[in-house]
Amino acid sequence: MKDRHRDHPNLREEVDLLANLRSARALILRDSESFHEASMLLEYIGQILAGEIRGGLSQYQREIVDLACRNERVVAEEVERLFNGQ
């Protein structure tokens, strides 16, 4: 259920979520068999950002891409492309 008291994670939570994004990326780069573990982590991050449970990783794309793009060196179109496996 969505928390109606706030729309976004606080700074500490955002830092933790960004660290988890880096961890998921490192897992995938280290070992392609870790893809499932990394995708579960990404889905969890999406659930935290959305404040609700949806129907799978793709349902959190906007939240995950928006989080990744908070880094000024990240290009939104590239993140979208990578999220879609292209």
Question: What digits encode the pLDDT tens for the residues 26-59?
Answer: 877 777 777 888 888 899 999 999 999 999 999 9
Q: What is the mean pLDDT of residues 7-29?
A: 83
Q: Cα(20)–Cα(62) distance, rounded to whole angstroms?
A: 17
Domain ranges across the chain:
11-83
Question: DSSP H helical segments within 31-86, as ranges?
Answer: 35-50, 61-68, 76-83
This prediction has a pTM of: 0.66
